Amino acid sequence: MSETVIALHAVTKSYQSAPVLDIPRLELPAGIYWLQGENGAGKTTCMKVMAGLIPFKGDIILQGNTSCRQHPVQFRRLINYAEAEPFYPAFLTGRDLLELYLGTKGGDRRQITDIAAHMGINAFVNNPVSTYSSGMLKKLSLLLAFTGNPAVILLDEPLITIDTRTLAIMYDLIRARHAEGVSFLITSHQPLDPEEITLTGTLRIADKNITLN
Ligand SMILES: Nc1ncnc2c1ncn2[C@@H]1O[C@H](COP(=O)(O)OP(=O)(O)OP(=O)(O)O)[C@@H](O)[C@H]1O
């Protein structure tokens, strides 16, 4: 079995006093995982916790040595997250966001601008995001999730609102990055196409805990 790419140690998360996550231990080898769970089970919360975006108790370790607590900056460079329903300040353009991500996450600029062109993002990248349709916003957020040199990419409901052409590009991107060693956690209420990606495992979130099948 390959090395653990992400490990959750005694992770708990509550909103006000309502507990949502209580994960004593979860260790995932490198791979592509489908995170399943009913509405309100805690999938988005789990992804935000894993991305280090919201406060939680416990710790998360990437690649065996980068701790969310002890190395917060390195940790956030190693994990990318695309929201289910992306929301950005209205006055920013797609290019502003792209430059921000390329500047902070680093990585191969040429590769990302090529993907932007392939996805048709160049047609609107200079416009404020307030003018974007939900599919245009989703394309941009998926592109941003592929910036930098992450070990893990979290995709929250990536299938929603994108057209079939973009869907095919996204599956290609997942396969290509996975071949380079990137792991993925993907939530989706619709099944992921087994002809497009081979899942390493299925994660089930229920009763605040996650189990690997
Ligand atoms: N900001 C918040 N404040 C308070 N409670 C919240 C907040 N965000 C989520 N919750 C609650 O946490 C629980 C888990 O929500 P979450 O969005 O993580 O679920 P989910 O599995 O992603 O659901 P869905 O499939 O419907 O998107 C729900 O009970 C929800 O009401």
Query: Domain holding 182: CATH number?
Result: 3.40.50.300
Q: Is residue 193 part of a domain?
A: yes
pLDDT digits (tens, 9 = 90+) for 58-79: 999 999 999 999 999 999 999 9
Q: Is residue 127 part of a domain?
A: no
Q: Which residues pair with 206 in a beta bridge?
A: 209
Domain residue limits at 184:
4-89+151-212
Q: Is residue 146 part of a domain?
A: no
pLDDT digits (tens, 9 = 90+) for 172-205: 999 999 999 999 999 999 999 999 999 999 999 9
DSSP, res 121: G
Checking ipTM against 0.85, whether it exceeds it is yes
From ligand 1's centre to the CA of 40, what distance in Å?
5
From ligand 1's centre to the CA of 85, what distance in Å?
13
Tokens read off for 50 = 């894993």
Q: Which atom of ligand 1 is nearest to the CA of 38?
A: 25
* For ligand 1, atom 13: residue with the closest CA: 40
Q: Is residue 142 part of a domain?
A: no
Domain tally, the chain: 1
* E-strand stretches of 63-212: 66-67, 79-82, 152-156, 183-187, 201-206, 209-212
> Chain-wide mean pLDDT for the chain?
96
* For ligand 1, atom 24: residue with the closest CA: 39
Q: Is residue 161 part of a domain?
A: yes
Task: Report the pLDDT value the prediction gives residue 213, as an integer from 0 to 100.
Answer: 85
Alpha carbons within 13 angstroms on the beta-carbon side of residue 4 total 14
From ligand 1's centre to the CA of 39, what distance in Å?
8
* For ligand 1, atom 18: residue with the closest CA: 42
Task: Report the pLDDT value the prediction gives residue 2, as an integer from 0 to 100.
Answer: 66
Q: Which atom of ligand 1 is nearest to the CA of 42?
A: 18
Task: Report the pLDDT value the prediction gives residue 25, as an integer from 0 to 100.
Answer: 97
